[in-house]
Amino acid sequence: MIRNYKLLCSALLCISALASCRPDVHESAGDKRFFDLKGFINADSARLNRAHITVTKTVAHNNDVAQTKPVTITNWGQELSAFSASDINKPAWRDGYSVKQEADSVVYTALMPDLVTRRMVIQQNDKAVKKIHIENFTKNLLYQTTEHLVYYPDSVYLIDKLQEVKLLGSNRYVVKGVMK
């Protein structure tokens, strides 16, 4: 009995060790099929961190009176994390988005209903990003979340999030930052 127990434990230990020995999957810049949103936001965050920009930040919850005050953002990566979290360059999503080139923009639209980032528009002028607009949507048995993100580099960012939770109701959060 004890021998069988030791044998079973050894087998489980070997299986778990083998499962943990798989290589990490990393994407290089050449693997990116779509606009590198995460890379762009990381680079822009580093630039904004160095610039020590003052922002007039407005925060509102459920359309109550918004609070507005000037702040100096010390961690732009955290401030713009909702944008970088919307990056669509994952290996599993290579065929998950349609790409439509318009006059001054590229529009990415989700082809599968389970993708959170439903639509992303990158507006450019001579390769310089002028505007990013992202629409995210998540739905499960407990809640539904709709998120609109807008970013004008060196100007304004907007995060508008509506979350509807069953039995608890809905909450809307709006964060707007105007850079000076």
Q: Which of 116, 67, 70 has the alpha carbon at shortest distance from 92?
A: 116
In this predicted structure, the answer to whether residue 138 has a pLDDT above a threshold of 80 is yes
| Element (DSSP H or E) covering residue 37 | helix 37-51
pLDDT score at 65: 80
Q: What percent of the chain has pLDDT over 90?
A: 74
pTM above 0.85, yes or no: no
Average of pLDDT values for 142-146?
A: 95
Q: Which of 102, 132, 110 has the alpha carbon at shortest distance from 36?
A: 132
The region of weakest confidence among 4-13, 25-34, 97-106, 148-157 is 4-13
List, for residues 8-48, the tens digit of each pLDDT value.
334 333 333 333 333 333 444 456 789 999 999 999 999 99
Average of pLDDT values for 120-146?
A: 95
DSSP states of 62-105: TT-PPEEEEEE-S-HHHHTHHHHTT----GGGTTSEEEEE-SSE
φ, ψ (nearest 5 deg) of residue 41: -65, -40
Q: In what order do the strands lie in the sheet with 97-101?
A: 67-72, 54-61, 169-179, 156-165, 143-152, 128-139, 117-125, 105-110, 97-101
